[in-house]
A and B are shown apart, each in its own frame.
Chain A
Amino acid sequence: GIQVEQSPPDLILQEGANSTLRCNFSDSVNNLQWFHQNPWGQLINLFYIPSGTKQNGRLSATTVATERYSLLYISSSQTTDSGVYFCAYDYKLSFGAGTTVTVRA
């Protein structure tokens, strides 16, 4: 099966800092999505991004399908950005291991 590597596994940020999260895939994937799981467990859709670049406020994402990776950018981070960020792919939405982000005031 396809292997996905999410990096970094943990990230501690000072409020206001920028960061980049990454997912690398061992093979081509479809239906790539990014999610934020808040401390209560709710998964929040961030981006559906099988290819190209999208932006939504302080967040943006880029998927380069030919290079088999996707990036999530967080700019001017806020404490509410804390939680776990997952990339997920393919029809059955297989999930990466996640990046745990902690933003400190």
Chain B
Amino acid sequence: GAVVSQHPSRVICKSGTSVKIECRSLDFQATTMFWYRQFPKQSLMLMATSNEGSKATYEQGVEKDKFLINHASLTLSTLTVTSAHPEDSSFYICSGADRGVNTEAFFGQGTRLTVV
């Protein structure tokens, strides 16, 4: 299967600072990328969908000014958590899909964010 690389795998930051998470598709062009959030022992909740070169579409209840998503190329999307608070601590996972060829989506390794 295709490979999606997500970095960092773990990050600890102080309240009020911003954190950037990168998601790269290594061997395919991810025309669409998705960002999810997962709390302990819960399922994945979609935060936003981004298409290369377009603004991201956020799910209801997700603050677009707090969770900045950039999908500037067919192989890279970034999620920036701005002015992080302890309640933003969670597991963030990205996925990519080449919707023009194959509708199967592939996931990154996830980033565990802890805000102290």
Query: Measuring CB to CB, which residues of chain A are less than 8 angstroms from any residue of chain B?
Result: 30-31, 33, 35, 40-43, 45, 48, 86, 88, 91-98
B49 close to A92 (CB less than 8 A): yes
Of A35, A48, A92, A97, the contact of B107 (CB 8 Å cutoff): A35
Give B contacts to A, CB under 8 Å: 1, 34, 36, 38, 43-46, 49, 91, 93, 95, 99, 103-107, 109-110, 112
Cross-chain pair count, CB within 8 angstroms:
49
Are B109 and A42 within 8 A (Cβ)?
yes
Which chain A residues border B110 with CB–CB below 8 Å? 41-43
- Contact residues of B: prevailing secondary structure: strand
4 smallest CB-CB distances across A and B, nearest first, come from A43-B107, A48-B104, A41-B110, A95-B44
List the B side residues contacting A86 at CB < 8 Å. Answer: 43-44
- A30–B34 Cα distance when bound, in Å, is 17
B105 touches A93 (CB 8 A): yes
